[in-house]
Structure 1
Amino acid sequence: MRALIHVADQRSFSRAAAVMRVTQPALSRQIRLLEQELGTKLFHRHGHGVSMTDAGRLLFERFKRLLGDVEQLRTEVGDRIARPGVTGAATLGVPSPLAWRFAEPFFERFAQAYPGVSLRIVEGFSAFLHEWMLSGTIDLAILYGPRPSKIIAVTELLTEDLFAIGPPSWIGRSSITIAELSKHPLIVPHPPHVIRTLAHEAGLNPPRFIEVDALSLMIELAHAGRGVSILPMAAARLEAMSGYTSVLRIEKPSLSWVVSLCRNDLKPITPAAEALFGAVKAEISDMVSSGRWDARLSAGA
């Protein structure tokens, strides 16, 4: 069941195999055996991935419900033997630009509110967090512009503007256009990443990409004039205040991303994860309302 669900969601055998942590030949063999047993094709194979047949779509919906029922039953059985009150463990994935200002105060508040829950926070770029959530490694994740998915439940929290992070020689300027940004190398995480998608949609065509999966190194390279990073203000606020880098508003057009709280819809939410979900929403709402996060709350957040 999981094999078909992940191939359908990722639209690729190789990406699904990476999420499931199995080899691609093994995954392909599982799907082929299932097709032979059912006597029908479940996927159309083509050069840029796969798409579901009518039979595949029907099986996907049935398997998704069945797998959800199995996971729900496992959770309910576990709850029968749990101690009174909210107990258990929950893991939250937090994107690198947010981690340092979110985690420290949140740990203490959550521990006071839910002393019976063991909280683990994992830092990473959104693409990694998305994969870890699909594989079940983490329960929830705060994601920037999550990619469309058939099995990820998304709750929008806020919208945040993005800025160009450049060398200190740009200090004194307040803004930069997409056309001018296109003249400089762009320092970004490896694909897939929402910043690359947003840049492409805005018409930003840099001469080359410098792929870096470490926030601190992205800022260091921008400081050295190797290229320009695109990040939220908070990610480089301290460096900007000290004159280490410049931070310029992006114009014509401006860039922003939606920040969402996400979970794997195939995995029933445990009491511990449910408590974490509510606490994260409340914490982020307070961060925006108090001015600790310069962003615009989504309706109902």
Structure 2
Amino acid sequence: MDMRQLQYFVRVVESGSFSAAAAALHMTQPSLSRQVALLEADVRQRLLTRTGRGVMPTEAGQALLAHARQILEITNRAREELRELNASPSGRVVIGLPPRVALQLSAELVARFRERLPRAVLSISEGLSLHLREWLVAGRLDLALLFDPAPSPQLSYHTLLQEPLLLVAPPGTALPARVALSALPSYPVVLPSAPNSIRSLVEALLLPRGITLQVLAEVGAVQTVLALVERGVGSTLLPESALHLGSGVRLPHAPIGPPGVRNKLVLATPRAGPNTRLLKETRALLLELDHRAMLRGAPR
């Protein structure tokens, strides 16, 4: 069958007359009638019947109409996909990042995004992992990097990085090679305020064992936690990469355990929803980044 003839046939049925269809297709009515007649000859069926108010599809015409619409839809979809292969996708993608990840990754991420997807716009939303997870489920974000998110049937997780949690102490503190969990209460600590993924990790590890920390203060930002540790206010519990957010003062640190606990960074994406080329390209870009080096402030 000729694709143009199928298109003409569908337009005649939808318009209800040859004259209206010819006008919409910018062709003469005799030319349109001839094309439909050729289609009828090809399928050896009468497809249209004339009425006092125009034309109606016959039983054979109704059968062909359903197939013709499907064929034209598939053809248009294939044409669009092939067109996308030759053009950089456009649109807007919104990524959620925890504050300390945004601080270390944003410049490199934006630079690479602009290089790879020059016609698209990248929007970065910062927030705690708990809030980013809620925004992702609610559809406010397209993708997000999260620390230790709770399982969700609505989200898919891909682990990017795992780091051991360390006891970080003020300058001059003598620490063993590894700090036993039972010894942690002897180190007064400054911790991130709940809700916080690091705080949740610590509580999940210690509470079932009946271990209670001496919490001196709770603050929101990891940078503030490190500033307090540098001034000797107390120790803290942080992943290794967080040490690079301090002023540069060398702080004593040691892994905790056994059992140890690892802080996990994941790429979270909705299981349902659109999966455009723009989102695929952005996800691929996020997977390519050297997250370990970036979070530690190393050259890339």
2:149 paired with 1:149: no
Percent identical residues? 24
TM-score, normalised by the number of residues in structure 1: 0.60
Cα gap change, 1:223/1:241 in structure 2, threshold over 3 Å: closer, same or farther?
Answer: closer
Compare relative contact order (CA 8 Å, sep 6+) and give the higher one, 1 or 2.
1
In structure 2, C-alpha distance between the alignment counterparts of 1:91 and 1:227, rounded to whole Å: 38
Q: 5 Å matches for 1:214-233?
A: 214-233=221-240
What do you get for the CA RMSD once the two structures are aligned?
Answer: 3.0
Question: Match for 1:107: what amino acid?
Answer: V
1:186-209 Cα offsets, whole Å, 9 max, x none, are 433343433233223332521337
Q: 5 Å matches for 1:115-134?
A: 115-134=118-137
Answer yes or no: is the 8 Å Cα contact 2:228–2:234 preserved in 1.
Answer: yes
Answer yes or no: is the 8 Å Cα contact 1:171–1:246 preserved in 2.
Answer: yes
Structure 1 residue 105: deviation in Å?
1.7
2:277 paired with 1:277: no
Match of 2:165 in 1: 162
Gaps spanning 5+ residues in structure 1: where? 1-75, 295-301
SS in 2 for 1:253: coil
2:265 paired with 1:259: yes
Cα gap change, 1:108/1:176 in structure 2, threshold over 3 Å: closer, same or farther?
Answer: same
Number of residues of Structure 1 aligned to a counterpart in Structure 2: 211
In structure 2, C-alpha distance between the alignment counterparts of 1:89 and 1:134, rounded to whole Å: 18
In structure 2, C-alpha distance between the alignment counterparts of 1:267 and 1:182, rounded to whole Å: 46
TM-score, normalised by the number of residues in structure 2: 0.60
In structure 1, C-alpha distance between the alignment counterparts of 2:272 and 2:195, rounded to whole Å: 23
Gaps spanning 5+ residues in structure 2: where? 1-76
Answer yes or no: is the 8 Å Cα contact 2:175–2:254 preserved in 1.
Answer: no
SS in 1 for 2:123: strand
In structure 2, C-alpha distance between the alignment counterparts of 1:172 and 1:186, rounded to whole Å: 14
2:138 paired with 1:135: yes
Question: Match for 2:289: what amino acid?
Answer: E
Structure number with greater Rg is 2
2:242 paired with 1:235: yes
Structure 1 residue 292: deviation in Å?
5.2
SS in 1 for 2:141: coil
In structure 2, C-alpha distance between the alignment counterparts of 1:171 and 1:110, rounded to whole Å: 45
